[in-house]
Chain A
Amino acid sequence: MAAYQPVGIGFVATLRRDLLLAFRRRSDFFNPLAFFLIVCSLFPMGVGPDPKQLAILAPGIMWVVALLACLLSSDTLFRSDFDDGSLELMLLSPSSLYLQVLAKTLAHWLLTGFPLTILSPLLALLLQLPASGTVAMMLAMAVGTASLSFIGAIGAGLTVGLRKGGLLLSLIILPLYVPVLIFGVGTVQAAVDGFNYLGPLAVLGALLALAATLAPLAIAASVRISVDN
């Protein structure tokens, strides 16, 4: 007979482990941030340094680049666990897989989405985003990137067993990112135009509520398939 275990123990243990691993190997943590910074600063060189034009493009550029940063980093979400066999142990463990993948996704957001949110005012400054949009950008980033982590984790779970996962991941995940992109940019745009931005922000929150409850089911199922394969 297995001893009684509190429901959340797998959740806390997985979250702790993932954060600790990231802390020990910091390049995984800095790479998405550096990507965000570098790609955002490429845009002025591509479209020209005109501050007015940049101000118009800034919300879209920042969101698209944040989308790509989340996408690229979600490829590694299950990769090392799959390679060293800890993913199989997660499947075998008595605690619920739903909570464990929820913890992994939360850790992923804490390590990518959250730092991107912190970094976004700096990028907003570089890209000449009007100051009225900065707070909205941070709020939208915080909520939106969490949804991105959940959606990305589904793709990561589906492709983790495949050798060439990276490009395939972007093909299957990017179309699903569209609503977050639209409402993320919508929130910032509303704030810049001087409107109340709580509406689109609330929609981002609704998307997150949906993703946080339903996505772990899909992530858990996809991880099972990849390990069985």
Chain B
Amino acid sequence: MGSPRWYYQISGQWLPWIAIVTVSLLVVGSIWGLAIAPMDFRQGNSYRIIYIHVPSVFVAMSGYMVMAIAAAITLIWKMKLAEVVMKCCAPIGAGMTFIALLSGSLWGKPTWGTYWVWDARLTSVLILFFLYLGVIALYEAFEDNISASKACAILSLVGSVNIPIIHWSVEWWNSLHQPATLKLTEESTMHPDMLYPLLIMIAGLYCLFALLLLLHTRSEILVRERGTKWVKELIAAK
């Protein structure tokens, strides 16, 4: 268990199911959220961006956590699979962070009247994006996979210690500079008609993350294990 070959076989069995669940959640969630859910009485239709924005922020942050946990496993147990997961988390997480930033600024234009404000949460997410970019860049700089994985593992662990500090200091800085910041409606006060599609979209984006991670790790494993017998047999069988 835990060997790349075992993972490749078992994930191949999961793949179609996860794909079906992901697509159905995303289709149901976006149709419900974008077309059926009632309009917000203050923000009009523009509030519907939260059906993309909020889930992508959730996934972007959890993605870093997955990466940091995989990094710890890489350093402690030197598990090959964890190395691959850690490496593959970074681009997906960076993509999600980018979607979160993009959708956030698109939502900011009609709501706040500007594409970008140095709001505490926006700034934190921007720095999260930079942290992801750092991990990707560091991995690419090494020629050897093992050293690259170890170096990135240290960097992501250092980053995960820093994320709460960064988040908290940005909050502090923000309250110092702009006391009145517009806040998103709290989730608990949302009407169920708006809340349910949001929950479905959050679940859908988490599944999408899992799906992308599976696909990416599977191809990465094939590349890394291309010299082994089972991969050669697999290619010959196709």
**Chain A contacts for B161, CB-based, 8 A:** 214
Minimum CB–CB distance from B165 to chain A (whole Å) comes to: 5
Within 8 A of A (CB), among B145-183: 147, 150-151, 154-155, 157-159, 161-162, 165-166, 169-170, 172-173, 176
CB closest chain-A residue, reference B127: A175
A131 interface residue (CB < 8 Å to B) = no
A183 interface residue (CB < 8 Å to B) = yes
> Is A229 in contact with B147, judged by CB distance below 8 angstroms?
yes
A138 interface residue (CB < 8 Å to B) = no
Task: Tell me, in angstroms, the Cα distance from A222 to B172 when the chains sit together.
Answer: 31
A118 interface residue (CB < 8 Å to B) = no
Task: Tell me, in angstroms, the Cα distance from A183 to B138 when the chains sit together.
Answer: 28
Minimum CB–CB distance from B118 to chain A (whole Å) comes to: 12
Given contacts A154-B154, A174-B130, A179-B162, are A159 and B169 in contact (CB under 8 A)?
Answer: no
B95 interface residue (CB < 8 Å to A) = no
Count contacts on A: residues with CB < 8 A to the other chain: 30
Q: Which of A174, A218, A225 has the most CB of B within 10 A?
A: A225
> Is B137 in contact with A172, judged by CB distance below 8 angstroms?
yes
A207 interface residue (CB < 8 Å to B) = yes
Interface of B, secondary structure class, is helix
Minimum CB–CB distance from A11 to chain B (whole Å) comes to: 22
Given contacts A178-B166, A228-B147, are A218 and B154 in contact (CB under 8 A)?
Answer: yes
1/0 per position for A90-111, CB-CB distance to B under 8 A? 0000000000000000000000
**Chain A contacts for B165, CB-based, 8 A:** 179, 207, 210
B131 interface residue (CB < 8 Å to A) = yes
1/0 per position for A202-220, CB-CB distance to B under 8 A? 0100010010001000100
> Is A186 in contact with B173, judged by CB distance below 8 angstroms?
yes
A164 interface residue (CB < 8 Å to B) = yes
B1 interface residue (CB < 8 Å to A) = no
> Is B162 in contact with A158, judged by CB distance below 8 angstroms?
no
Task: Tell me, in angstroms, the Cα distance from A222 to B75 when the chains sit together.
Answer: 11
CB closest chain-A residue, reference B133: A171
Given contacts A171-B133, A171-B137, A214-B161, are A178 and B172 in contact (CB under 8 A)?
Answer: no
Give the interface residue-count category, chain B. 20 to 34
Task: Tell me, in angstroms, the Cα distance from A218 to B144 when the chains sit together.
Answer: 20
**Chain B contacts for A168, CB-based, 8 A:** 137-138, 141
A176 interface residue (CB < 8 Å to B) = yes
Minimum CB–CB distance from B178 to chain A (whole Å) comes to: 14
B134 interface residue (CB < 8 Å to A) = yes
> Is A179 in contact with B138, judged by CB distance below 8 angstroms?
no
B14 interface residue (CB < 8 Å to A) = no
> Is B158 in contact with A175, judged by CB distance below 8 angstroms?
no
**Chain A contacts for B157, CB-based, 8 A:** 218
CB closest chain-B residue, reference A214: B161
Task: Tell me, in angstroms, the Cα distance from A207 to B141 when the chains sit together.
Answer: 29
Given contacts A179-B166, A218-B154, A222-B154, are A159 and B134 in contact (CB under 8 A)?
Answer: no
CB closest chain-A residue, reference B147: A229
B142 interface residue (CB < 8 Å to A) = yes
CB closest chain-B residue, reference A185: B173
Given contacts A178-B166, A229-B142, are A172 and B155 in contact (CB under 8 A)?
Answer: yes
A: residues with CB less than 8 A from B are: 154, 158-159, 161-162, 164, 168, 171-176, 178-179, 182-183, 186, 189, 203, 207, 210, 214, 218, 221-222, 225-226, 228-229
Q: Which 9 A-B pairs have the closest CB atoms?
A: A172-B134, A229-B147, A175-B130, A179-B169, A182-B173, A182-B169, A225-B150, A158-B151, A162-B141
19 pairs of residues in contact across A and B, judged by CB atoms under 8 Å: A162-B141, A162-B142, A168-B137, A171-B137, A172-B138, A175-B127, A176-B159, A178-B166, A179-B165, A182-B169, A182-B170, A186-B173, A214-B161, A221-B154, A222-B151, A225-B150, A225-B154, A228-B147, A229-B147
7 more contacts with CB within 8 A, not counting A172-B135, A225-B151, are A159-B138, A168-B141, A178-B169, A179-B166, A186-B173, A218-B154, A229-B147
